[in-house]
């Protein structure tokens, strides 16, 4: 049997183990306007954690704080297991380049999830099937070309000019890799940052933005995701406030079967 070449996402987020630091490299395919797509950076960090020999459990929560721009090229990851107990691990990760101060700081919680009482307090939003919605056309940023966006509500329209009154920041859409790839924790994390900036929707124009802090909570482990066996998720995202150069964002990622897989929040800098 011939081995398949790695998916572009896996090739781009490949991490090499070192003595005290692990190494990765930015990818032009996942480049945003002035640096790597934040979801790519988060996924590379999580991949290093998942491949670390001390790792135990699946991702439960991951926070990434983007402290400074990440330049094109190689980067180092300093991984430190801060605390571990019978069911969870707490990690800190620093991303730096050329021996300089960290450009990104991350904290992660990994947990061994055990069978327990289970009940969902929310239901999946109604949505037309993925196959019945037209794919959103490519936009300028390279990273968006690696995804298949299919908007149900909140289609972004920046061609009509700035709105006289702010519009809704809400959107509902299917998200999948452009070349289909089975959803796992890494791609789920990346997709949690794949929503377009909420201010684009509210103002109807593209303005300079940058994610400052991203947190994703996982509600499914590796076994759950393997059982779902999916290549796209339903995403809903909204914002509550834009104030003095910063705005929030909250989102949910659902499997087509109606299972909530992840929730996410972030703070974004904007200039408008």
The pTM (predicted TM-score) of the whole model is 0.95
264 contacts 215 by C-beta, under 8 angstroms: yes
Confidence of residue 179 (pLDDT cuts 50, 70, 90): very high
Which of the 8 DSSP states describes residue 134? P
Residue pLDDT, tens place only, 155-168: 877 666 677 788 89
202 contacts 239 by C-beta, under 8 angstroms: yes
Q: Which of 258, 257, 247, 218 is nearest to 63 (CA)?
A: 218
Residue pLDDT, tens place only, 227-247: 999 999 999 999 999 999 999
Residue showing tokens 């929030």 = 248
- What pLDDT, on the 0 to 100 scale, is given for residue 160? 63
Q: Which of 182, 265, 252 is nearest to 224 (CA)?
A: 182
Residue showing tokens 């969902």 = 120
Domains and CATH numbers, the chain: 8-112+135-270 (2.40.160.210)
- What pLDDT, on the 0 to 100 scale, is given for residue 1? 36
CA distance 145 to 183: 18
What sign results for the dihedral spanned by CA atoms 24, 58, 188, 217? negative
- State yes or no: pLDDT of 122 exceeds 50: yes
- State yes or no: pLDDT of 2 exceeds 70: no
CA distances from 10 to 55, 190, 255 (A): 19, 12, 21
Q: What is the mean pLDDT of residues 10-30?
A: 93
| Pairing state between β 209-218 and 260-270 | antiparallel
Q: Which of 84, 74, 11 is nearest to 52 (CA)?
A: 84
Which residues, in sequence order, are bridge partners of residue 79? 93
């Amino acid at each position: 049997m011939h081995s398949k070449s790695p998916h572009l996402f896996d090739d781009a987020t490949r991490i090499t183990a070192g003595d005290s630091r692990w190494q990765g490299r930015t990818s032009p395919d996942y480049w945003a306007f002035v640096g790597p797509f934040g979801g790519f950076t988060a996924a590379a960090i999580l991949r290093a954690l998942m491949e670390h020999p001390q790792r135990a459990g699946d991702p439960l929560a991951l926070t990434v704080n983007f402290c400074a721009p990440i330049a094109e090229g190689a980067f180092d990851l300093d991984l430190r297991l801060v605390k571990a107990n019978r069911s969870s691990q707490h990690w800190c990760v620093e991303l730096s380049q050329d021996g300089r101060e960290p450009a990104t700081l991350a904290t992660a919680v990994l947990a061994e999830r055990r069978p327990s009482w289970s009940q969902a307090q929310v239901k999946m939003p109604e949505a037309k099937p993925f196959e019945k919605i037209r794919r959103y056309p490519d936009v300028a940023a390279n990273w968006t070309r690696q995804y298949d966006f299919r908007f149900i509500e909140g289609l972004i329209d920046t061609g009509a000019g700035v709105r006289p009154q702010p519009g809704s920041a809400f959107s509902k859409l299917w998200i999948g890799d452009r070349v289909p790839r089975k959803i796992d924790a890494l791609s789920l994390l990346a997709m949690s940052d794949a929503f377009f900036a909420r201010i684009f929707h509210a103002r109807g124009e593209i303005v300079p933005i940058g994610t400052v802090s991203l947190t994703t909570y996982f509600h499914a482990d590796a076994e759950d995701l393997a059982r779902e066996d999916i290549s796209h998720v339903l995403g809903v995202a909204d914002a509550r406030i834009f104030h003095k150069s910063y705005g929030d964002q909250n989102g949910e990622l659902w499997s087509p079967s109606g299972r909530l897989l992840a929730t996410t929040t972030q703070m974004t800098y904007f200039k408008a």
